[in-house]
């Protein structure tokens, strides 16, 4: 029987088309099960979450090795028919050459897109200097082009997440990443309509990704009206799952109560969802 699943090239082509017009949500699963459930809801693409996956492995965000991250990307890509965007952190390398090698390896997993952020992981100097950050983005761009050019590159300015809540600096960095070859721009941490509108205008005509990582008064319709092309949720779905688990476990440990299971999904529902995915045999 012929394989009717979309090819890697098909996924990458569809992913680029999603960025051409309109606004879409790209939710963030942290394992194969959550990826398959999100696919079943009709989302058009998925994005990994470095934090959500790290927590599932008993690590803090940023505590996963490149080898482990690549294996995770391979698993998610293989499991789903949807395009997958990789939260590839800062490229798992200190220099541009290392970023290029990491990006080459990520492309081989079949991801349709990947993001490179400008955070260093060092609290004393949390962001790469702009020249270095641009060099790293250019290295990622060259690695993608060398591999065929069909993987989408996302440039992330982490200013707001590291305490440098300077919109002018954020915009300056995003513009530089766009000029260095980023196809889509992303500034996690901005929230207000005025901030969003300013960034969207600054990076146009390239698409902008908005992170909605906590409760927001903005609806998807309102976000779309601000000119945002795609919306991701980072580790928020994973944190929601952890929240339910932690509340239920603490009730047992601290009060000997089992009330925390009240909102749990039923085993029958979960088995009914996953059983058909086993396929014949």
Position 258 scores a pLDDT of 97
Q: C-alpha 224: how far from its chain's center? A: 19
Position 280 scores a pLDDT of 58
- Backbone phi, then psi, for 25, in 5-degree steps? -95, 130
Element of type H or E holding 95 = none
The length of the chain, given as a count of residues = 281
Position 277 scores a pLDDT of 78
CA atoms within 13 A on the CB side of 270: 6
The span from the CA of 228 to the CA of 222, in Å, is 9
Position 2 scores a pLDDT of 59
Domains recognised in the chain with CATH numbers: 8-234 (3.20.20.60), 236-281 (no CATH)
DSSP label of 7: P
Count each helix (H run) and each strand (E run) in the chain, helices first: 11, 8
The span from the CA of 167 to the CA of 222, in Å, is 21
- Where in the chain does DSSP place strands (E)? 24-26, 46-47, 84-87, 113-117, 152-156, 184-186, 208-211, 230-232
Which tokens hold the place of 107? 């492309």
Those residues of the chain that have pLDDT short of 70 are 1-2, 279-281
Do 47 and 238 meet the contact criterion of CB atoms below 8 Å apart? no
The span from the CA of 231 to the CA of 222, in Å, is 12
The span from the CA of 250 to the CA of 263, in Å, is 15
Do 249 and 264 meet the contact criterion of CB atoms below 8 Å apart? no
Position 252 scores a pLDDT of 98
Could you give the maximum distance between any two Cα atoms of the chain, in Å?
A: 59
Position 1 scores a pLDDT of 52
Q: C-alpha 135: how far from its chain's center? A: 22
Position 279 scores a pLDDT of 66
The span from the CA of 79 to the CA of 189, in Å, is 30
Position 255 scores a pLDDT of 98
Position 53 scores a pLDDT of 98
Position 239 scores a pLDDT of 98
Position 272 scores a pLDDT of 96
Position 4 scores a pLDDT of 86
DSSP 175-194: HHHHHTT-SEEE-TT--SHH
């Amino acid at each position: 029987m012929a394989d009717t699943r979309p090819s890697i090239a098909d996924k990458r082509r569809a992913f680029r088309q999603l960025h051409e017009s309109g606004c879409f949500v790209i939710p963030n699963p942290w394992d194969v099960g959550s990826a398959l459930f999100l696919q079943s809801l009709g989302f058009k693409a998925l994005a990994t979450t470095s934090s959500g996956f790290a927590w599932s492995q008993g690590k803090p965000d940023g505590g996963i090795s490149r080898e482990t991250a690549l294996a995770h990307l391979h698993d998610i890509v293989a499991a789903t028919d949807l395009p997958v965007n990789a939260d590839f952190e800062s490229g798992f390398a200190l220099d541009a050459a290392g970023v290029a090698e990491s990006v080459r390896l990520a492309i081989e997993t079949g991801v349709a897109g990947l993001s490179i952020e400008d955070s260093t992981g060092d609290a004393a100097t949390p962001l790469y200097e702009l020249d270095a950050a641009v060099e790293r983005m250019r290295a990622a761009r060259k690695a993608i082009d060398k591999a065929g050019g069909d993987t989408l590159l996302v440039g992330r300015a982490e200013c707001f997440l590291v305490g440098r809540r300077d919109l002018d600096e954020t915009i300056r960095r995003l513009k530089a990443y766009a000029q260095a070859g980023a196809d889509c721009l992303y500034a996690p941490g901005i929230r207000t309509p005025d901030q969003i509108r300013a960034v969207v205008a600054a990076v146009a005509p390239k698409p902008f990704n908005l992170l909605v990582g906590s409760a927001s008064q903005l609806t998807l319709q309102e976000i779309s009206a601000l000119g945002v092309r795609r919306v991701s949720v980072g580790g928020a779905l994973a944190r929601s799952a952890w929240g339910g688990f932690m509340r239920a476990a603490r009730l047992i440990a601290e009060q000997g109560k089992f009330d925390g299971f009240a909102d749990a999904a039923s085993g029958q529902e979960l088995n009914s969802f996953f059983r058909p995915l086993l396929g014949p045999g």
